[in-house]
């Protein structure tokens, strides 16, 4: 797993209070990991902070799963 994927996973475990085994690439924040709309906003903010990126709202809407977050950040992280 890439360093970015590791960090993304750690943030999700911390913020959503889920087990590491649940954080699979296909896992959806809202459908599988128990996030509500505010949790999702917080996750995006944490990604922005951790990876020093700014994720526009229209792109944040497309980040629904763990895998989508990792791909986006691998592409955009500085």
Partner 1 sequence: MSSIRRVVVTGLGAITPIGSTVPAYWEGLKNGVSGAAPITRFPAAKFKTRFACEVKDYNPDTYFDRKEGRKMDLFTQFAVIAADEAIADAGLLEGVDKDRVGVIWGSGIGGLRSLQEECFQFERGDGTPRYSPFFIPRMIADSSSGNISIKNGFRGPNFVTTSACASSNDALIAAFNNIRLGLADAIVTGGSEAAITESGVGGFNALKAMSERNDDPASASRPYDKDRDGFVLGEGAGALVLEEYEHAKARGAKMYAEVIGGGMSSDAYHITAPDPSGSGVVLVMQNALRDAGIKPEDVDYINTHGTSTPLGDGAEIKAIETVFGAHATALNISSTKSMTGHLLGGAGGIEAVACIFAMQNSLVPPTINLHTPDPEINQALNFTPNVAQAREVNIAMSNTFGFGGHNTSVIFRKLDH
Residues contributing to the site for partner 1 (CB under 8 A): 15-17, 34, 38, 41-42, 45, 48-49
- Which of residues 1 and 57 has its CB atom nearest to partner 1 in the complex? 57
Judged by DSSP in three states, 54 sits in coil
Annotation marks residue 36 as catalytic: yes
Catalytic residue from among 32, 36, 57, 58 = 36
- Which of residues 16 and 70 has its CB atom nearest to partner 1 in the complex? 16
In sign, the C-alpha dihedral spanning 48, 34, 61, 21 is positive
Judged by DSSP in three states, 72 sits in helix
- CA geometry: angle 8, 59, 53, nearest 5 deg: 50
Q: How far is the CB of 38 from partner 1 (least distance, A)?
A: 4
Residues identified as active-site: 36
């Amino acid at each position: 797993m890439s360093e970015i994927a590791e960090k993304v996973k750690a943030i999700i475990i911390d913020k959503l209070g889920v087990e590491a085994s649940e954080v699979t690439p296909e896992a959806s924040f809202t459908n599988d990991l128990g996030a509500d709309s505010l949790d999702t906003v917080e996750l995006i903010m944490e990604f922005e902070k951790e990876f020093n990126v700014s994720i526009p709202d229209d792109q944040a809407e497309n980040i629904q799963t763990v895998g989508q977050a990792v791909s986006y950040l691998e592409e955009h992280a500085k």
